[in-house]
Structures are given as C-alpha cells and as structure tokens.
Structure 1
Amino acid sequence: MRKGKNKSSKLFPISVDKLKTLMESKFENNPDLSFTIFEKSEARIAVFYISYLVEPEMVEQFMLKPLLDGKSKWTNQSILNEIPLRSGSKIEKLEEILDKILIGEVYIYVENEDAALSYLLDKKEKRDLTQAETESLVLGPKVAFTESMITNLNIVRWSIRSTDLVLEKIMIGERFPREARLVYVKSLADETDINTMRQRLKELEVDQIEDSSVLMQYIEDSSLTIFPQFYLTELPDRFVYAIDKGRIGLLVENSPTATIAPSSFFSFFESTEDLYMRWHAGTFLRSVRFIAIFLSIFLTPLYVAATTFHYEIIPIKELLTIGNSRAIVPFPPIIEVLILEFFIELLREAGARLPTKIGQTIGIVGGIVIGTAAVQAGITSNFLIILVAISALASFTIPNYLMSTAIRIIRFPMIILGGLLGLIGIMFGTCFLLIHLLKIKSLGRPYLTPIYPFRWEDLNKALFRLPIAYQSKRFYSYQPKDIKRYKKNKAKTKKDIDE
C-alpha cells in the first residue's frame, strides 16, 4: 500500500506496449523488472515480475512452458485452466499490481483483456534453524526463531497441535506493509486481551515496522517507562509455554523475536529452564535471580551512601580496610563508583559488539588489566572493584536482555541519590520506583501482578515453584477461559505397573 493513495480506476484493457512503458516508468527503468512479450497466432501476452523476488525455475516450468506449449487460444480463462498453479487470480487496478509485484507475484496480461492474471511465486530467503544467542539454556529445546514467518509458523504449529490455535494475519505499515501474526488459543486466551491487541495493531498508522522490538514500542501502554511491558523472546518453547497459559503471542515477518503479552514484572525473571528442573532447583534459581536484582540495584549505591554519610553502619574492622584502600583515591565515593561503573559498561558494550571470540577476550583481559591498573593508579579501591564486579554479575543472571538493561540503568540514578542524600536518597528512589511499577500496565493489566492486585493462588507460579501436582491451574491474573491445566488428584495418583 502507498500512503495517501487515491482510489484508482481500472487499468485494463490496454496494449502490451503501453503496459510495458507504464511499468518501466513506475519502476524508473529498474533492470530487475523482467517484462517479456510473447506472440502466438496474432495474440500477444506480457509476462512481468521482479526477477530477484521470484523463483525462476517455477516461472519457467509451471508458467512459461504451459503457456508456450499449449494449443488453445490465449484468454484469461484458458490460461487459468492450463497453468498448474492454484494461486491464480484476476487483478484490475494498477495500484494493486504495484503493491503485490513487490512481494514476489508474477503477472500475465493478455492484450485487450479486462484484467491481468497474478501468481504468487515468491522466493523464500531464510537461514537455517540455530541455537538462541541471547537466551541460552542448559536443559530444554535449543532451537530459536528465524527471520522467516513461514518457518516460525511451522515451529509454533508443530508445537501446538490443536485446531483451537489461531494464527490471525494482520498487515502493518502503510507505505511498506509487513505481515504480522496474532497467535493465541481460542479456548484459552481472554477475549478482552485479544481485542485490545488487535485494535492497537490495526489502528497503528506508521510507514513501516522494522522489527518486533520496534512494534512493541508503538503498541505498549506507556512509552515513558524504562521497563519493558511485553516479553520479547527468540525461544519457541518460551513462546508456546506462554500461549498455553492463555496469553497472546505476536510474530512479525523478518523478525527473529516473538512478542508475548500481557507480561508481568516477575515474568521477566522466569526461565523455561525452571520447568525442566526439579521444583527444588527451579525455586532456588528463581530466588537467586530475585536476590541478584537487589544486589545489582542497591549494592554500589549503599556503598556510596555508607562511605559518604553513614560510617556507623560499617563494622569497625571493615571500615579500617575500606579506609586503607581509599587512602590514595583522590575522588569522593560517588565519583569513584560512577567512573568504575562506566568502565564496566564500556567493557560490556565492547564485548557485545565485537566478534564472539574477540569479545570474550576483551571482556576478560580488559576487566583484569583495567581493574589492576585503576587500583595501582589510585583511581579506585580494591574493595569497590569487588562490589562493582558482584553488581555486574548479578545483572547477568536476569534471563531477559531488555529487563537486564533496565536494571543496569536504574543503578546510576540510585548511585547519585545515595551520594547526594545517603540512605534517605536511596529510600526516596526505591519508593519512587515502587510507585512507578504500580502504575505500569501491560496490555491494560497490572504490571506487578500477582503482588498487586494480590493473588495468593498465583504466587507459586511467579515467585517460586511447587511440585508439579500443585501446578494444575493457569494464572488467574491473566483470566484464561479455562483455568485448569490438568486434574490435580489424578496427577498425584501413583500406580504400580501391575495395577
């Protein structure tokens, strides 16, 4: 589609020579436009398409060969009967031809007919299935989504073999349309969530969508918050797990990441790997992640507050150690911490942007060299390097990259508040953060569910894991149509093989 286009009148009938001139002018004499005229028994036809968008073997074998070898007179109806392809349709308007030729359609026009014939013979460029790069797992499926919509739909359909699975097609983008698929199980997903997501997608007026992550920013509830409101994943098993819980998924053509909505704050700290482990290990690892959030946000700000205003909260022996290590440091604690945190972010960003092997070397060697040199130069203390390293490691435990980035950014204003106002400043920042989280919504649902509004029955799914027999129900907070996943009593029943 083209932005601001007017309703066009019928193009046909027209001579093939005039049609060729018109198409070449529309495509600015593009050499990739293939426009060929054939003649037989005083009848003339034109076959035209964009060469790199179609499969040339299919054009030759299934279109040109039947056309040229056939003995019947060329008409639209005879061509539809002779060409062994099911996708043939009649197109009458120029705007429609210009739109669809760019997605790999091949057109046949018989001179003086009132419509052209269209066949979709697009070339599918895709990469092979590989392991996920940003969401690594020890247990569970390793396959990741690709940029091909067809491949991604096949993965989802293979995982959810149900006639209730809906793959609703929505075109997004007025100037450069791109296909999106709204994915949900009709007998599970809440109708309000489905309608809300559908409305936001269909009412979106934008030239083009580059990726799922960009689309997420257009349709999220608040664009001002630093926290992601929809979960982006490249793992099909994570996507399918969310669909089974009654949530909604979104796939976008040419994007290797899928969107899950609605999402709560706590869902960003879940990993599907928790499901593949025993419940003891799953609960332990999830608890480690929540502790890691606290350490990542508050560890260095508390150091700054304690060494600037509140020496009394530090044990005497530890205070002597910190004093000795800071004796030659010329900066106040807030500047010292900000410098070191900035160095860590530089190393992290450099390691992520460089090739894998070089990036790992830069991260390890750079950290050791800069850390040692910084202590010897008197820029920072040994004690602070340990705290900053723990804080950085804690942020890596968060399974979701977007949430991990948000936590890293929050740390900096916390450090500044701790350096300016001490513990009062940290408490002010914490209260502001909690109030902000309480106000956020994801697809119209509270972001802090099941803590606010409080739902006791969902705590064992969000904060920790119980044995499988006690996981028989889906999240109440997402209001699925069917709350039960399986019968609890039968799940507990244990039978011998001879019973």
Structure 2
Amino acid sequence: MFFKKKKADILNSMNKKNLDDMELIPVKKEDFIQRMKDLLHHSADLHIKELQNGLTLVYVDTITDNKMINEDVLARLEDAQPTPDDALKRINVGSSGKLKYVEEIIDKILKGSVIIHSDGYPIIVEAAVGTQENRSLTRPENESQVLGPQLAFNESLATNISLIRRYLTNPNLCNESFTLGKQTNSGISLLYLKDIADEEMVERMRKRIQKIDVDSILDSSTLVQLVEDNSLAIFPQLLMTERPDRACAWLLNGKVAVLVDGSVQVIGAPLSFFEFFQSMEDESVRWQIATFLRLLRIFSMIVSIFFTAIYVAALTFHYEIIPQTLLIPLGESRSLVPFPPIFEALLLEIMIELLREAGARLPTKVGQTMGIVGGIVVGTAAVDAGFTSNILIIIIAVSALASFTTPNYMMGNVIRILRFPLILLAGFWGFYGLMIGFCFLLIHLIKQESLGTPFLAPFYPPRFSDWPDSIIRFPLAWTNKRPHLTRPRDRIKFQTRKSKE
C-alpha cells in the first residue's frame, strides 16, 4: 500500500511539473497576437481577424473550412459580448471548448481549429472547423477478391474507424488514441474487443506504441517496423490489410488492430506465419475449395523459393537425379550456353526482377505492356543469343508466377528475395547447400515471435485444436473456437450443436 501511494505521489508531482512548464495565454490582445505570429513563424496562411467587439480570431486558412468560419463562427460573434463564456455559447460548432495554455492553442490551430481570444481574459475558446478532404471509398487494390465485401479503407482515420464500427456494432469495441511523431503529430488508434482480447497482449502493444520516439509516422508500414518483435528479421511479424472485414475478423479472434491517420493499411497483431497465405475469400467458399487454395499457396511458395535452386544444384553437382529421358533435351538446350548454371540462373532472375520493378513503377497501361512484351522479347532474345536455355526460361517463369499467388504483398517480396541466397548455396554446394539454407530458414522462423507469441503457431508449439483453420480449413462447425495464439478471454465463438439447430 505504501509503495502504491508513493508511486501515485510521484506521478502527480510529474504531471504538476509538466503543467508548470507550460506557458499561459497572454491576457492582452496585442501580446497574444504577437505571440501567435512568433510561434507560427509569420506563416502566409495564418489569418488573424480582429472584430469590433474586442474578440480576435486566429486560424490557418489552408486547413480550415471558410464556410464554417463565416456562417457558424463569425456571423454569430459579431454582436457577442467580448467574454469567453458568451462566445462559447454563440458559436454553432459541434466540437468546442476552453483552453488556457499556449501549447494547447498551437496544437489545436494546426489541427484545423479557430481560436477566439477575449481581450483581458486568460482563457481561450476554440472551435473545430477543420476541412474534411477524404478520398471516396473504393475497392481493395492489393487484396482483391471475387466473393465477399468490396470495400477498402482510405486515408482518413475517422472514416476507417467508422467502417470497423459499422461491422462491429459492439459496445465492447475499445478505441485508444495516441499521438506519435515530434514533427507530424500523427494520430494512432488502438482497437480491440474488451470482452475477448487478452489484457496482457493489449498492454504489450500499448507500451510499444507509447515508447516510440521518432520525428514522423507517415504510414502504417513505418509503425510496423517500430513495434514488431525483431526488426532485423526478413519475415514480417505483423500483417497489414486494407479490408475492413479482415480487420474485424482479427478483432473477433481476440487480436488488436492499429490504425494510422493518413494510411490505408491497418495493422493486425499477433499473427501466425500461415496467416500470410490466407485470404478473406477462404471464408466465403466451401471448405474443400478453401483448403485446396491454401495448400496451393503453400506449394507455390515452396516452388518459388526452391525450384530454380534445385535446377542449379542438379546441373552443377547431381546429374544422377535427372531422368535419362530428360538428359538429352536438357543437354541439347544447354549445349550453346557458355555460362555455368548458377550464373545463368542469377542472370535470368535479375532480368525478371528488373521487368517486374519497371512494370510496377511505370503508368498502369504502359507497365502492363512493358511486362508482357519485355518478357517475351528478352526471353526469346536471350535463348537465341545463347545466354540461357529454354528449360531455365520455363523454370524461372513458373517460379515468378508462383510468387504472385501469395495474397500478401510483404510476404511476396520476401519470397522473391529468398531465391537469390538459395541459388548461390545450390551453385556452391549443391543439395547440401540447399539443406543448409532450408535449416537456417526453419530455425529463423522458429525463433521469431509476433507480439510475444510463437510465429509458427499452431504447428510450433503444436496446438491441435487450432489446426482446423490453419493450412487447411475444416467446415465452419469445426472452427467454433478462437485460436490459442491470442489467449482470448472467451475462446468459444459459438456452440456447434445450437448453431445446427
């Protein structure tokens, strides 16, 4: 009890010290106007209007709604008494209040509020009249699907939260607000379901956000790198989505969602490695089809990473594993190639990456043409010139095609990168090098965590009750429990027998 009281006294003294360090509002109008100009460095879009009744309005023109200022503020203050109380009663704005510190005033001005100063009073009235310039809601760009909702987040934090609340009309949906970035003061929201999410997990994410001390947070991808468990790992430990339905599914499973103002991506945590190969469309199709698609994505990942490396290892060290019927066409295809298999494979992989990057950076119509025509022309010219063989062209194309089946863009980039070190290991040590690379990747994945939870769950450590909704997807009646990964307070989603009745 003594230590709790002592801790409370320390916190109170710190808060009091912080308040004592803040600057009070100048009482005289001339001093107040000069102080505002100095703090905002005489900006060209800083507007100061002095009314005849003694009231002074201060706002930044480029981030405020002039119509609201004229109709809801100026028109109502012309015959008002020059007192903060009367000014507050007359303005017709939904969000308004009183302030008494200069630091608070500057923060409100830069967020789109108009400040009303009364000469001789140490209190300021502020009214939120900021512009709401939002992009209209569109279809998801990176997570498109045939079935299910066709709606994506936009750059407005308020709009994104409203989309989630539209799906989850639940009073237990908690929204905690933070401000990050010493230069940007970006708004951050932490969302979770109070009756489902584990409080320890929520507290862990809350502390990681509060400990961040950076100049700017401009996008969710920046915040992910600051709050994830191992920033040196090549694999992402947190997942981002642009789909409101997926964010709601995370919350319903006991996870937390983090939204950043100005970003279309919502962060979900904790996540398992296998969730990067799942799509929300899996919930909209029959369980047999969903299972086939998930297995196909896992198989595509393996093919994309190892297919080219196996070709290099076989041609360099292990001719005995190649069937005899394939040796003759393989030898004829490589008879004019002057380079060893490792150099040939690396050359083609780099060419594919160049074409892919060029197609992504060019305008949409030009990029599509560049990818198709460039791939055909470069591939044909490389074979005719003797730089590579026809068989390797096929293998590289299949590997590149397999990498596109991954639903998540971040994991797709990781798969593209992993091919290169494995090709080098296969070229130097054959299948022994491939085994070394595979073991290193497996150990690396086993060591990773996502918000303090195992990254390879539910297979390591084994949680058999979570298997029905992992690599495979069982019928919905078998997936009535929330995963152990999130340690939810309420693990039962629904009663199977009652749902069938």
Look up the match of 1:398.
Answer: 406
Name 1:99's counterpart in structure 2: 107
Q: Secondary structure at the match of 1:422?
A: helix
Distance 1:246 1:18 in 2: 53
- For residues 237 and 456 of structure 1, the distance between their equivalents in structure 2, rounded to whole angstroms, comes to 27
Question: Do residues 68 (structure 1) and 102 (structure 2) align?
Answer: no
**Which of these residues, 37, 41, 58, is aligned with residue 48 of structure 1?**
58
* 1:86 positional shift: 4.3
In the alignment, the residues of structure 2 paired with residue 439 and residue 334 of structure 1 have an alpha-carbon distance, to the nearest angstrom, of 30
Deviations 1:430-455 (A, max 9, x none): 00100000000000001000010001
Q: CA separation in 1, counterparts of 2:24 and 2:500?
A: 68
Once residues 180 and 367 of structure 2 are traced to their aligned partners in structure 1, the CA distance between those partners, rounded to angstroms, is: 37
Could you tell me how far 1:18 is from its partner in structure 2? 2.9
CA–CA distance in 2 between the matches of 1:407 and 1:436?
15
Closer, same or farther in 2 for the Cα pair 1:259/1:488, shift >3 Å?
A: same
Asked if 1:9 is matched to 2:26, the reply is no
Tell whether 2:371 aligns with 1:351.
Answer: no
1:172 Cα deviation after fit: 1.5
How far the C-alpha of 1:8 sits from its partner, in A, is 2.9
Match of 2:68 among 42, 58, 74: 58
Q: TM-score normalized by structure 1?
A: 0.95
Give the partner amino acid of 1:9: E
In the aligned structure 1, how far is the partner of 2:94 from the partner of 2:399? 60
Task: Give the equivalent residue in structure 1 for 2:15.
Answer: none
Which runs of no fewer than 5 residues in structure 2 stay unpaired?
1-17
Give the distance between the partners of 1:264 and 1:155, measured in 2 at CA.
25
Cα distance in 1, alignment partners of residues 500 and 86 from structure 2? 66
DSSP 3-state at the match of 2:78: helix
Cα distance in 2 for residues equivalent to 1:404 and 1:86 = 45
Q: Is the 1:455–1:477 Cα contact (8 Å) retained in structure 2? A: no
Please state how far the C-alpha of 1:130 moved relative to its aligned partner: 0.6
Partner deviation per Cα, 1:60-96 (whole Å, 9 max, x = no partner) = 11111111144xx321111112223343222222222
Task: Give the alignment of 1:99-498 within 5 angstroms.
Answer: 99-493=107-501
SS in 2 for 1:166: strand
* 3-state SS of 1:183 partner: strand
The residue aligned with 1:35 is 48
Give distance in 1, aligned partners of 2:115 and 2:364: 46
Deviation at 1:26, TM superposition (A): 2.5
CA distance in 2, matches of 1:241, 1:11: 47
In 2, the alpha carbon distance for the partners of 1:90 and 1:327 equals 83
- Structure 2 Cα separation of the partners of residues 455 and 297 of structure 1: 27
- Report if the CA contact (8 A) 2:45-2:60 is conserved: yes
Give secondary structure in 2 for the equivalent of 1:170. strand
1:80 correspondence with 2:94: no
Percent sequence identity over aligned pairs? 44
Per-residue CA distance 1:443-499 (angstroms, 9 max, x = gap): 000100001000111111111011121111111222111111111112334xxxxxx
Q: Give a deviation string over 1:143-181, Cα, whole Å, max 9, x none.
A: 110000111011000001111111111112233211111
CA distance in 2 between partners of 1:22 and 1:458 (Å): 61
SS of the counterpart of 1:295?
A: helix
Match of 1:496 in 2: none
Task: Tell me which moved more, 480-489 or 433-442.
Answer: 480-489
Amino acid at match of 2:78: L
- Specify the SS of the correspondent of 1:462: coil
Output the amino acid matched with 1:134. Answer: N
**Shift of residue 351, structure 1, vs aligned partner:** 1.1
Separation in structure 2 between the aligned mates of residue 390 and residue 107 of structure 1, nearest angstrom? 62
Measure the CA separation in 2 of the matches of 1:79 and 1:477.
54
Tell me the alpha carbon deviations over residues 8-39 of structure 1, each in whole angstroms, 9 at most, x when there is no partner. Answer: 3313212x233223322332321200101112
Measured in 2, the distance between the counterparts of 1:82 and 1:472 equals: 55
Distance 1:39 1:18 in 2: 18
- Matched to 1:12, the amino acid is P
CA distance in 2, matches of 1:308, 1:491: 59
- Is the Cα contact below 8 Å between 1:266 and 1:463 reproduced in 2? yes
Structure 1: stretches of 5+ with no match in the other structure: 494-499
In the alignment, which residue of structure 1 is the partner of 2:6? Answer: none
Q: Please provide the CA RMSD for this pair.
A: 1.4
Structure 1: distance between partners of 2:176 and 2:473: 33
**d(CA) in 2 for partners of 1:209 and 1:486?**
39
TM-score normalized with structure 2 length: 0.94
C-alpha offsets along residues 280-312 of structure 1, whole Å, 9 cap, x if unaligned? 100000010011011001000000000000000
- The count of aligned residue pairs is 484
- Counterpart for residue 5 of structure 2: none
Separation (CA, whole Å) in 1 of partners of 2:51 and 2:485? 64
Any idea what SS the aligned residue of 2:263 has? coil
